[in-house]
Amino acid sequence: MKASRWASREVDVTGSGRRKRADGQESQRRILDAAAEIAGERGYDGTSISAVSKRCGLPASSIYWHFTDKDELIAAVIERSFETWLAAVQLPDEQAGDPAERAAAMSVGVAKALLETPDFLRLGLLLTLERRPTEPTARTRFLQVREVARDRVQAALDALAPGLPEASARRLTTYALAGADGLFIAHQIHGDDVDLLEMFALHARLLTDAIARESADGAGSVP
Amino acid sequence: MKASRWASREVDVTGSGRRKRADGQESQRRILDAAAEIAGERGYDGTSISAVSKRCGLPASSIYWHFTDKDELIAAVIERSFETWLAAVQLPDEQAGDPAERAAAMSVGVAKALLETPDFLRLGLLLTLERRPTEPTARTRFLQVREVARDRVQAALDALAPGLPEASARRLTTYALAGADGLFIAHQIHGDDVDLLEMFALHARLLTDAIARESADGAGSVP
Amino acid sequence: MKASRWASREVDVTGSGRRKRADGQESQRRILDAAAEIAGERGYDGTSISAVSKRCGLPASSIYWHFTDKDELIAAVIERSFETWLAAVQLPDEQAGDPAERAAAMSVGVAKALLETPDFLRLGLLLTLERRPTEPTARTRFLQVREVARDRVQAALDALAPGLPEASARRLTTYALAGADGLFIAHQIHGDDVDLLEMFALHARLLTDAIARESADGAGSVP
Amino acid sequence: MKASRWASREVDVTGSGRRKRADGQESQRRILDAAAEIAGERGYDGTSISAVSKRCGLPASSIYWHFTDKDELIAAVIERSFETWLAAVQLPDEQAGDPAERAAAMSVGVAKALLETPDFLRLGLLLTLERRPTEPTARTRFLQVREVARDRVQAALDALAPGLPEASARRLTTYALAGADGLFIAHQIHGDDVDLLEMFALHARLLTDAIARESADGAGSVP
DNA sequence: AATGAATGAGGATTCATTCAT
DNA sequence: AATGAATGAATCCTCATTCAT
């Protein structure tokens, strides 16, 4: 920290001059905060340990005390970001309202969480789209987490329309997630020109209609 | 790269026996091919000039003869990829069928093009999601191109439902593009477990229904 | 010259769109002009062929048609710069005025030439101070040219004070040149805050006095 | 640099058997030593980080641990060289001798320091003469240091001739520094064929005479 | 629990130069 | 007489990682 005369490196970001005699958890948190911001903006390759070090104020070597390597660091970022994001999602009361209303409420809950903590999905999508020679642990982790989300959506869908054929359910679940991803991206591009809550509500409505029809059809094959 | 001057280093991509005959356009094409593949897989930061050099068989310094820097190279990749992609999109006959059928045909045309040349949208989305300190020219270019696509979709939508209020049209256009992006991503994740053509057809159907309803409503505000 | 779509290189500096069907001397002149400017500002290492190419509007390979390599190019620059500079020096009429006046006139003549074409001495001094592993031809050339100048100054000095002992003459000649170099540098640093003509006149006066004294002394050893 | 980790690569400059014990200050010193030698010989552009790395035995990346970039490294070189040089200058006793003797003693003191540590002024003059598009910090630093030296010379001059008009004082100070620069260059060219101490003594004498005359004149305008 | 220092590999880019046309 | 294209070596600098303290 005692930057030499010619090369200034980390800065005392906290403002507290007194070196805290090692608070592992606090340091880890600062590292993850920094890494989450950067990785959410730049993806895997764009996230350098030295950039994280600069942003969190700890030397690069300290990052390696807490995480074995970059791969694990970014995996940890995804995990913690997911938890944060999940905490932000407020699911509607299972009992309340009719099914369609519940679906809309769920949808809007997700949208709100995305507005509050967008880094999670941004990084997740970046990891998903990138094809590195050795797949990062973080990517695998994100896809696992996404699979869990997928299962929940499908469960909600089954609750909404118990008679829906398996194939239809899978298709509509895929469509539900795809809409969420796509609308999130639209919001990334156009900022608040795209009203994410409104768009998610529209998405929920179209989905509800589709469920209704495919339920009635019985078959649900798309000609 | 330590190979002597006459040892064959690069792969004879062209199949034509004559090599080293200094054909600028051909070299440029090889560079763009290589860069498109890599950038489509790895994004901006993940695309290293030396990787492009290795894949196209020309030394890194030769790449700089054809493109002033990495930024311009990737911008050129986006431009050419877009042209290729656009050529792959087969738009339906303007006269044929009823409006809903035409919408479905358009949608499937886009899906087919995405299956044929997925690199374009993959790179585009990577560039869109990444937030580099200095915005790459390629990102700007992609967003411009996307805006053109957006205008076309909106025009098609207006043709389909002339009475649609402006706000509805904008919202549905956003939804149309978002669905395309999201379904593309789903296909990236699940491969052929997701039938992209079927999903795009579903997307077109839901959109057509939504248009019909919002047209009838007159207002179309989502409560 | 037909810059490709992605990499813009040389510019049509002359403004004449029509490619002149090869005018060797004219091209050579343009190259030397460009090289002189750049080398006068940046020294040997700082002068890159591509910078010269950019400034003169001819491709790098054309420079190699006129000059075998960078070393020869810079040597040619020194030679031509010297000629230009020499032409700018107006030596006083050998007959006119008393010796001291003639000395002053010579001095001012040199100063004026330095103000008009400063690149010559700037490059010369840069080459002189630099110690490259393989001595550039240009440096040798400059030192030769300087030796000629030295001889002329010493001759003028002998004419001024025929009885001056050899050692004194050498010493004062060295001093005369050193003053010129040093004042030139002062002018480089302070710009027109240093009145070069005035300073050269002062230099001439001090020298004349010194000559007078050392002539009288006979010995001229500095204790 | 392909040598295995334990093969001795660098020269044991310190003489102390223990190596690799990570001593920051010592490494910094070795880097500065190497950089000073090279920059003193080759100027800014001619000083490559890899050359410095080779000469000091540390890998190039280690240089970047100690200095943020080449610009700062060379600025540090100038600063340290100046300190070394200043320590080498032995100024005469303020009380001793008559003013003219003191002036001569000062002059010779400077000359001796230049003979001992010529790298400082050599690099300084190279930086002064070079005109890079972005001015190196080192150049600015050198000119600042030079301004300080200028002030001291002018103070000494005022002490020597209190009644001297301001304009004369400035002119003679410029002349004093110019002579030093020029004679230093002469010594660089001719080596020990030019007796630097003798030349500086001569310079001091001419200056003293000039001061005397301009003092007497009162005005000191050079016609 | 942390960090200053070091390190080899690789990043983008520029270099001087060559050569076929 | 000139030039488009190519090329290997070198440029500055950042990378992920290690290790002794």
Tell me the pLDDT tens digit for each residue of C53-94: 999 999 999 999 999 999 999 999 999 999 999 988 877 766
C202/D175 CB distance under 8 A = yes
Sign of torsion over alpha carbons B78, B84, B88, B94? positive
Report the alpha-carbon distance of residue D158 to residue D164 in Å, rounded: 7
Q: pLDDT per residue over C110-121, tens digit each?
A: 999 999 999 999
Helix (H, G, I), strand (E, B) or coil at D197: helix
Chain centre to alpha carbon of residue A74: 13
Nearest Cα residue to A32 out of A61, A56, A11: A56
Q: Is B43 helix (H, G, I), strand (E, B) or coil?
A: helix
Residue of A nearest to B143 (CA): A189
- pLDDT band for position B212 (50/70/90)? confident
Diameter of chain C by CA atoms? Answer: 76
Would you say residue C135 has pLDDT above 50? yes
| Model pLDDT, residue D201 | 94
> pLDDT digits over C16-63, tens only?
444 445 678 889 999 999 999 999 999 999 999 999 999 999 999 999
Distance, CA of D148 to C1' of E2, in Å: 44
Quote the pLDDT of residue D99: 75
* b/e map B163-199, b = 16+ CB within 10 Å: ebbeebbbbbbbbbbbbbbbbbbbbbbeeeebbbebb
Nearest to D124 by CA among C188, C140, C51: C188
**C to A contact (≥3 Cβ pairs closer than 8 Å):** no
Is B25 strand, coil or helix? helix
Q: In angstroms, rounded to a whole number, what is the distance separating the alpha carbons of residues D187 and D182?
A: 9
Residue A126 has pLDDT above 90, yes or no: yes
Is the pLDDT at A35 greater than 90? The verdict is yes
With beta carbons less than 8 A apart as the criterion, state whether C179 and D182 touch: yes
Question: What tokens were used for A96?
Answer: 């309340």
Which nucleotides of strand F come closer than 7 angstroms to any CB of the protein?
1-21
The integer distance in angstroms from the CA atom of B56 to the C1' atom of E19 is: 22
What is the per-residue DSSP string for B71-106?
HHHHHHHHHHHHHHHHHH--PPPSSSS-HHHHHHHH
Q: Is C203 helix (H, G, I), strand (E, B) or coil?
A: helix
Q: Residues for chain B: how many in total?
A: 223
| CB-CB neighbours of C93 under 10 Å | 9
pLDDT of residue C103: 83
Residue A162 belongs to some domain of the structure: yes
Distance of CA D74 to the CA centre of its chain: 13
- CB of B22 lies under 7 Å from some atom of strand E: yes
Is residue D123 predicted with pLDDT exceeding 50? yes
Question: For residue B21, which amino acid is it?
Answer: R
Those residues whose C-beta lies under 8 Å from the C-beta of residue D212, and which sit 6 or more positions away, are D161
Which nucleotide has its C1' atom closest to residue B67's CA? Answer: E13
| Predicted confidence band of residue D8 (pLDDT cuts 50, 70, 90) | very low
Per-residue flag: D56 CB under 7 A of strand E: no
Going by pLDDT thresholds of 50, 70 and 90, the confidence category of residue B213 is: confident
| pLDDT tens figures, A103-116 | 888 899 999 999 99
Q: Answer for the pair C176, C157: CB distance below 8 angstroms, yes or no.
A: yes
Facing residue for A8 by CB, picked from D28, D65, D68: D68
Give which of A42, A44, A129, A221 to mutate to test B binding, by max B Cβ within 10 Å.
A129
Comparison of pLDDT for D7 and A64, the residue scoring more = A64
Confidence at B220, pLDDT banded by 50, 70, 90:
very low
User: Range of C142's domain?
Assistant: 80-220
| pLDDT tens-place string over residues A166-182 | 999 999 999 999 999 99
D48 lies in the same domain as D99: no
Q: Taking CB atoms and an 8 Å limit, are A129 and B199 in contact across chains?
A: no
> Pick from A186, A170, A100: which is nearest to B175 by CA?
A186
Is the CB of A69 less than 7 A from some atom of nucleic acid strand F? yes
Distance in Å from F13's C1' to D78's CA comes to 22
Q: Say whether pLDDT at A34 is over 90.
A: yes
Average pLDDT, chain C: 87
Q: Are residues C89 and C176 in the same domain?
A: yes
User: What would the two tokens of residue B13 be?
Assistant: 């991509």
CB contact under 8 A, A6 and D76: yes
Examine residue C146 and state whether it is found in any structural domain, yes or no.
yes
Cβ atoms of residues C164 and C215 within 8 Å: yes
Question: D42 to chain C nearest CA, in Å?
Answer: 5
Rounded Cα distance between A64 and D221, Å, is 71
Nearest of C171, C202, C199, C167 to residue C183 by alpha carbon: C199
The C1' atom of F10 and the CA atom of D7 lie apart, in whole Å, by 25
Number of Cβ atoms within 10 Å of the Cβ of A81: 26
Domain-embedded: residue B143: yes
Q: Which residues contact B68 (CB under 8 A, 6 or more apart)?
A: C6, C7, C8
Instruction: Provide φ and ψ at A49, rounded to 5°.
Output: -60, -40
pLDDT interval class at B3 (50, 70, 90): very low
pLDDT for B219: 45
Helix axes D70-88, D118-129, angle to 10 degrees: 130
Q: Could you tell me the two tokens for B16?
A: 């034509």
How many domains in chain D? 2
Confidence tier at A148 by pLDDT (50, 70, 90)? very high
Identify which of D3, D77, D78 has the alpha carbon closest to the alpha carbon of residue D34. D77
Identify whether A74 is part of a domain.
no
- D73 and A6 within 8 Å at the Cβ level: the answer is yes
Residue whose structure tokens are 């006129």: C66
Predicted confidence band of residue A217 (pLDDT cuts 50, 70, 90): low
Nearest CA among A55, A61, A19 for reference residue D65: A61
Does nucleic acid strand E have an atom less than 7 angstroms from the CB of A2? yes
CATH of the domain at C62: 1.10.10.60
Residue C120 domain flag: yes
Task: Give the mean pLDDT of A200-214.
Answer: 91
Structure-token pair, residue D131: 């005109």
Distance CA D140, CA D135 (A): 7
Distance CA A180, CA A41 (A): 19
D87 and D57 co-located in one domain: no
What is the least distance, in Å, from the CA of A223 to any CA of chain B? Answer: 9
pLDDT, tens digit (0-9, with 9 covering 90-100), for D47-58: 999 999 999 999
User: Do residues C162 and C144 touch, judged by C-beta distance below 8 A?
Assistant: no
Looking at the structure, tell me whether residues C129 and C194 fall in a common domain.
yes
One domain for residues D51 and D85? no
CB atoms within 10 A of CB D52: 27
Average pLDDT of chain D is 86
Identify from D48, D196, D199, D222 which residue to disrupt to test chain C contact, counting C C-beta atoms within 10 A and taking the largest count. Answer: D222
The sign of the dihedral angle between the CA atoms of C86, C87, C93, C98 is: negative
Q: Are B123 and B81 in contact (CB under 8 A)?
A: yes
Q: Do residues C186 and D178 lie in contact, with contact meaning Cβ atoms separated by under 8 Å?
A: yes
Whether residues B133 and B176 share a domain: the answer is yes
Query: Does C59 share its domain with C93?
Result: no
Q: Is residue A59 part of a domain?
A: yes
Residues A9, A15, A16: CA angle, nearest 5 degrees? 110
pLDDT digits (tens, 9 = 90+) for B160-205: 888 889 899 999 999 999 999 999 999 999 999 999 999 999 999 9
Is residue D223 predicted with pLDDT exceeding 60?
no
State how far the Cα of A139 lies from the Cα of A145, in Å rounded to an integer.
10
Cα–Cα distance for residue pair D51/D36, rounded to 1 Å: 12
Q: Using pLDDT thresholds of 50, 70 and 90, give the confidence band for residue A8.
A: low
Asked whether residue D61's C-beta has any atom of DNA/RNA strand E within 7 A, the reply is yes
In chain A, residues 63 through 102 whose Cβ sits under 7 angstroms from any atom of nucleic acid strand E: 64-66
- Full-model pTM: 0.87
Higher pLDDT, C89 or D177: D177
Cα dihedral A132, A56, D69, C55, rounded to 10, equals 60
Chains B and D touch (3+ CB pairs under 8 A): no
pLDDT for the residue numbered B11: 42
Which nucleotides in chain E have some atom under 7 angstroms from a protein Cβ? 1-21
Residue B214 or residue D131, greater confidence: D131
C209 touches strand E (CB under 7 A): no
Q: Are residues B18 and B103 in the same domain?
A: no
pLDDT band at D202 (very low <50, low <70, confident <90, very high): very high
Length of chain D counted residue by residue: 223
Rg (CA), chain A: 21
Percentage of residues in chain A with pLDDT exceeding 70? Answer: 85
Q: Using the CB atom, is residue C71 less than 7 Å from strand E? A: yes
Domain boundary among D34, D67, D100: D67
Structural domain contains residue B9: no
C70 touches strand E (CB under 7 A): yes
Q: If you count residue pairs, one on A and one on B, with CB atoms under 8 Å apart, how many are there?
A: 141
Claim to verify: residue D42 and residue D93 sit in the same structural domain:
no
Average pLDDT for D20-24: 70
Q: Which amino acid is at D66?
A: H
- Cα nearest neighbour of B71 on chain C: C6
Q: Which pLDDT value is given to residue D142?
A: 97
Q: What is the CATH classification number for the domain harbouring D87?
A: 1.10.357.10
The stretches of B1-136 forming alpha helices (DSSP H) are 24-46, 49-56, 60-66, 70-88, 99-116, 119-129
Tell me if D34 sits within 8 A of D73, measured CB to CB. no
DSSP code of residue C162 = T
Residue in B14, B29, B135 with CA at minimum distance from that of residue B83: B29
Do D146 and D216 lie in one domain? The reply is yes
**pLDDT value for C220:** 42
Separation in Å: F10 C1' and D72 CA: 21
More confident site: B4 or D59: D59
Same domain for D141 and D100, yes or no, is yes
Contact state of C6 with B65 under an 8 Å Cβ cutoff: no
Q: What is the pLDDT of residue C76?
A: 97
Q: What is the pLDDT of residues D75-120, one digit of tens each?
A: 999 999 999 999 988 777 666 677 778 888 889 999 999 999 999 9
Q: Is the pLDDT of residue D200 over 70?
A: yes
Residue D16 has pLDDT above 50, yes or no: no
pLDDT tens digits, C178-211? 999 999 999 999 999 999 999 999 999 999 989 9
Q: What number is the average pLDDT over the span A74-103?
A: 85
Residue C105 scores a pLDDT above 60:
yes
Span CA (A86) to C1' (E16), Å: 59
Encoded tokens for A209: 């209609």
Radius of gyration (C-alpha) of chain C in whole angstroms: 21
Burial class (CB in 10 A: 0-12, 13-18, 19+), A122: buried
Radius of gyration over every alpha carbon of chain B, rounded to an integer in angstroms: 21
| Domain final residue pick, C40, C67, C94 | C67
Does residue C3 have a pLDDT over 50? no
Residue B169 lies in a domain: yes
Pairwise CA distance, residues A169 & A163, whole Å: 10
Same domain (yes/no): C53, C140? no
> Is the CB of A128 less than 8 angstroms away from the CB of B189?
yes
Contact A164, A214 (CB under 8 A): yes
